[in-house]
Chains A and B, each alone.
Chain A
């Protein structure tokens, strides 16, 4: 067991040594290849020679494979100044690209003295060169290139091991190339006779790629640039906020804030108006309404001297019903007295009592006229007669339109009570009710009256007249039409007389209407029911 252990150890050591040698040989071969490639590029003269250390010289030249001869055909003769010539043995090696390289290596050299080299091929001089060996140094690249942080922003310290050559440490010159990782554009810094360099002006928090090469400074010794080392990567310290940038941005934001404040202050009023718009109040239109009478419109109306003048504008405002004008009457009997024509709404905008009286005055005549023909059907003759006597019709042209005109008969039952307290209802809404809307055949409104169930009576009543929402049924002869006034438009829909009972019993609100009149007032939106 012990024997095998020892043997194994020996084998292991042997392997290690062998492998190390092999790697060193491989390394050496690789280094030679690199140097050959470098010199082929950098040196125009032949043969190309370089010194790696203090007492060696390697010379070579290149030939095409086709024209190349064997190594025996060539002779390398070198002569130092004031000395006899010597010959160097040549070795041939194949190279890439169909070429052949011929090498000569001297292991003992003299520096600072001219060396004469001549190469012969079959006694024919093919190359001739004179050189100083101390001027053709081609060193190995520096070893152990390491990057460390200096502890400061945007800096990296590069350190390396100089080539171990006696007498030449202080003659060495280094070139450090650094670039951001991934970028091809880099910077180069030179340093003499040193083994470290601090790279400054780097970006914070970025990875940098650094490599280095060496050359002799050329005062005593000179040569070619060595090959670049393998690049080493290192990330710089993450960046703090650049104080300059911070201060500049603070100043700029300050300036902007001041400017915006200035703008805001100068447009203060405009902005306030936009953000908090002034809620309009009608106080200006109604002097004293809110301040003196506390919003009591009736009182204000009664007591204000300028109230009459205000009424038209008041009357035409959104919150109050649209006045209806009498445009024509339907007269089935003899001509009605012209005075029977209901006055226009604007004229009737007087006292409540006046209106009532007018209505009372007018309507009986109307009613009587109509009662005379209680059950008569309207015939075309009658219609024609009416047509031919347009005198009762004040605005017959208007009738020909399809608009509905409603006359409010305020005479009936409702006269007594509550017209007083209902301001809007005293408005003499006088509408000539034409059922022409329901018929598209006849242009004349009168023609559509034929649709009536034949009662021959045309009257209209407003539900305003029936504060308790009782709807007296006029009888089966009546056709009722429901009008819903939303304050914006009036909606007419025919109802059968049978239905009326139902309607009359219930509370009918077709819509709600918002206004500023106190709640105890009747809202305008109460539907107006008309019957004819």
Chain B
């Protein structure tokens, strides 16, 4: 299943990689990516990875603890935050996941698992591109610990990590993208 999904996502990944590469030297792309289906695809792929690796024995050989962001969204509270604050939360969370998945990739030996993890990692990168297209500035890596403590927690298994990852994408990231000011002008 993952192979075909990888095949389908390839063009988007290539496009975004090119944009990222181009974006390193150039200002952010002019045209904002507002299609919610882009993020929906990332969410589905993360969910599929979570489902596929849930039955992994002994956590697929992954040990250690990972720092992950909090995923809960209280709409009333969320709406009180401005876009920058929301963007900060999202970007710091994305970077945390990037680090955690990188560490997982190091400790996984099975090729199939490696492919899935690689796919999720590239999706995270693509998301960064999408955020940049919406004029949401990148955070410098690594994120500031002060921010991280408030909105993070620790997980100890791969399945939980992936589960939190999925929830994060579905919640905060999506809310940020769908309500980005750059997209509000275009949408009806």
Contacts and interface: CB of A to CB of B under 8 A. Distances in A.
Interface of A: 54-55, 80-82, 108-113, 132, 134, 166-167, 170-171, 219-220
Contacts of B179: 167
Given A112-B171, A167-B178, A220-B174, A55 B43 contact: no
B44 interface: yes
Contacts, number: 54
B170 A220 contact: yes
A109 B70 CA distance: 15
B40 A110 contact: no
Contact of A134 (B44, B70, B168, B171): B171
Interface centre among A108, A167, A171, by most B CB within 10 Å?
A167
Interface stretch (B73-81, B83-91, B142-150): B73-81
B167 interface: yes
Nearest to A170: B36
A112 B75 contact: no
A167 B73 CA distance: 13
Given A81-B72, A219-B44, A220-B43, A111 B171 contact: yes
B175 interface: yes
Contact of B72 (A54, A112, A167, A220): A112
5 contacts: A55-B74, A55-B76, A110-B74, A112-B71, A113-B73
Contact of B70 (A82, A166, A219): A82
Nearest to A171: B36
A55 B172 contact: no
A8 to B, nearest CB: 43
A451 to B, nearest CB: 127
Contact of A113 (B75, B167, B174): B167
Nearest to A56: B75
A82 B153 contact: yes
B186 to A, nearest CB: 13
Contacts of B70: 82, 113
Interface of B is mostly: helix
B178 A109 contact: no
Interface residues of B, number: 21
Contacts of B175: 167
Contacts of A112: 71-73, 167-168, 170-172
Nearest to A114: B167
A55 B40 contact: no
Interface in B9-56: 36, 40, 43-44
A144 to B, nearest CB: 17
A56 to B, nearest CB: 10
Highest count of chain A CB atoms <10 Å: which of B73, B153, B167, B178:
B73
Nearest to B187: A170
Interface in B146-188: 153, 167-168, 170-172, 174-175, 178-179
A166 to B, nearest CB: 8
Nearest to A168: B178
Contacts of B153: 82
B75 A55 contact: yes
Given A82-B153, A220-B170, A110 B178 contact: no
A168 to B, nearest CB: 9
B76 to A, nearest CB: 6
Contacts of A171: 36
A332 to B, nearest CB: 136
A220 B40 contact: yes
Interface string B73-109: 1111000000000000000000000000000000000
Given A82-B153, A167-B175, A220-B170, A111 B72 contact: yes
Nearest to B74: A110
A113 B77 CA distance: 15
A166 B168 CA distance: 19
A219 B73 contact: no
A166 B36 CA distance: 15
Contacts of B40: 219-220
B75 to A, nearest CB: 4
A108 B179 CA distance: 21
B74 A108 contact: yes
Contacts of A54: 75
B165 to A, nearest CB: 11
A54 B76 CA distance: 9
A113 B76 contact: no
